[in-house]
């Protein structure tokens, strides 16, 4: 492990005023715990502002790559990582290095378990790691999406078992991540940040740090409020996506193109915000976060029917896509799914990212094979399907290169993710049947063999 200025930084207890001055002056050590799609960009933005950065992860392969100046996330180049190498940056799996940090930020997964309830195991394990190394004068911030009350009722008591008191000996706050992988218009620096804490000192410290990192830091009165802000943002998206998914099915029966309807409706300069349908919802937010609130709301005897209905509609979309494919095969070939050759185009959960988390493409793929279809995929972001928790049977499948001869071998092409590097006019020209779940073929002139789903 390289020796840096971080490991030599004063690890003795500091008071509130000293810590505040360090954070304001960008003369502090920031430990970012969890170097994934949230922690990695945050580490880059933090280092760019002059802070010392300790990148911590339990995955030794990530740490090895970071210390070698290599990236493992699409959109972050090796050059960016290499530029961070030096006295103000180190990456480590050694938890004792955390004692050198002035601020510890938790950026770890918060998935759902098999019962669709919050899986807090990553947060709990990370909090235990912090507790083993906690010293007076440190600020701890949770960024992982979670239910209201997590920071106050779960993290703080665990940390106080050390004998240190939150808000006095150490400080604690919540600031939800707002990363949007694949979005070239916004970066960590340009996205405003919500900051919530239950005491003035913790809030002031967190505001000092995030105020230096992002264009705007927005304080709220409590950590629970900040936790609720994040859930509200994603529930808003989930509900509106469910609405247009339902409209898609209704308008299809009426012979109306829902995408044309939405494009026309969004010309209204007020009172309407466009959302677009698809084959389902994926990623680490929309399919998961709303259920953190539905779970917590049971404690208060409050049903969340609207949120749960939206989840049911979005969850049903892969089945609707397969139904539309079956209709198309019957109309064009007078045949069903059994033995049909299908090319699945796009397995990432969204456009132009290398992320499979909760991807509806994977659910569609497995359902098609269960019905006897022969399925291959094309997605240049995935030369090979990596191991996933829910789709182990697909691990190791290889990407199918595109060519005219290749397309001619398939009974149908199913567009599940609309990547920018694909010429969909060309795909339609050389395919027998195309099922389009993303309106990717909107500019194709001859759409007699294109079905929208």
Q: Which residues are catalytic?
A: 285
Residues whose CB falls within 8 Å of the CB of residue 16, separated by 6 or more in sequence, listed in order: 137, 171, 201, 205
Structural tokens at position 250: 């209704």
Q: Are 141 and 247 in contact (CB under 8 A)?
A: no
- Residue 335 φ/ψ region, left for φ over 0, alpha for ψ in the -120 to 50 degree band, beta for the rest: beta
Collapsing DSSP to helix, strand or coil, 203 comes out as helix
Q: Which residue is associated with the tokens 């996506």?
A: 241
Report the distance separating Cα 98 and Cα 102, nearest Å. Answer: 9
Residues whose CB falls within 8 Å of the CB of residue 141, separated by 6 or more in sequence, listed in order: 103, 104, 105, 106, 172, 173, 174, 175, 206, 209
Structural tokens at position 292: 């953190």
DSSP secondary structure letters along 139-156: EEEE-S---TTIIIIIIH
Q: Are 141 and 206 in contact (CB under 8 A)?
A: yes
Structural tokens at position 55: 């990148």
Report the distance separating Cα 430 and Cα 449, nearest Å. Answer: 11
DSSP secondary structure letters along 338-405: TT-EEEEE--SSSTT----TT-HHHHHHHHHHHTT-EEEEE-TT-SBPPP-SS-GGGTTPBP----HH
Structural tokens at position 62: 């990530």
């Amino acid at each position: 492990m390289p020796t840096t200025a971080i490991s030599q930084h004063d690890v003795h207890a500091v008071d509130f005023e000293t810590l505040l001055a360090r954070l304001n002056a960008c003369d502090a050590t920031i430990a970012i715990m969890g170097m994934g799609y949230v922690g990695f960009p945050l580490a880059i933005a933090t280092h760019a502002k002059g802070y010392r950065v300790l990148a911590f992860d339990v995955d030794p392969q990530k740490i090895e790559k970071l210390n070698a100046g290599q990236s493992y996330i699409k959109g972050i180049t090796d050059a960016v990582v290499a530029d961070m190498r030096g006295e103000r940056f180190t990456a480590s799996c050694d938890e004792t290095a955390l004692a050198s940090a002035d601020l510890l930020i938790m950026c770890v997964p918060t998935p759902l378990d098999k019962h669709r309830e919050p899986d807090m195991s990553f947060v709990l394990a990370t909090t235990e790691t912090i507790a083993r190394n906690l010293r007076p004068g440190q600020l701890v911030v949770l960024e992982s999406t979670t239910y209201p009350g997590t920071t106050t009722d779960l993290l703080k008591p665990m940390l106080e078992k050390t004998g240190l008191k939150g808000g006095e000996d150490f400080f604690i706050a919540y600031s939800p991540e707002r990363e949007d992988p694949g979005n070239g218009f916004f970066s960590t620096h340009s996205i405003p940040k919500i900051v919530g804490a239950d005491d003035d000192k913790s809030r002031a410290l967190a505001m000092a740090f995030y105020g230096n990192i992002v264009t705007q830091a927005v304080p709220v009165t409590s950590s629970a409020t900040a936790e609720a802000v994040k859930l509200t943002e994603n529930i808003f998206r989930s509900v509106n996506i469910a609405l247009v998914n339902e409209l898609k099915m209704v308008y299809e029966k009426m012979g109306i193109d829902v995408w044309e309807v939405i494009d026309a409706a969004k010309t209204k300069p007020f009172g309407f915000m466009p959302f677009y349908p698809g084959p389902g919802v994926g990623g680490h937010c929309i399919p998961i976060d709303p259920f953190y609130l539905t779970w917590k709301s049971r404690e208060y005897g409050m049903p969340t029917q609207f949120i749960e209905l939206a989840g049911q509609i979005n969850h049903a979309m892969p089945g609707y896509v397969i139904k539309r494919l079956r209709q198309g095969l019957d109309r064009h070939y007078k045949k069903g799914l059994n033995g049909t050759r299908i090319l699945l185009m796009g397995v990432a959960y969204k456009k132009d990212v290398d992320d499979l988390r909760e991807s509806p493409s994977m659910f569609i793929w497995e359902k098609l094979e269960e019905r006897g279809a022969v399925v291959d995929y094309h997605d240049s972001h995935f030369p090979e399907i990596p191991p996933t928790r829910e789709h182990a049977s697909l691990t190791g499948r290889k990407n199918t290169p595109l060519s005219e001869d290749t397309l001619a071998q398939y009974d149908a092409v199913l567009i599940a993710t609309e990547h920018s590097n694909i010429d969909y006019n060309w795909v339609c020209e050389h395919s027998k049947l195309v099922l389009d779940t993303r309106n990717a073929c909107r500019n194709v002139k001859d759409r007699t063999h294109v079905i929208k789903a």
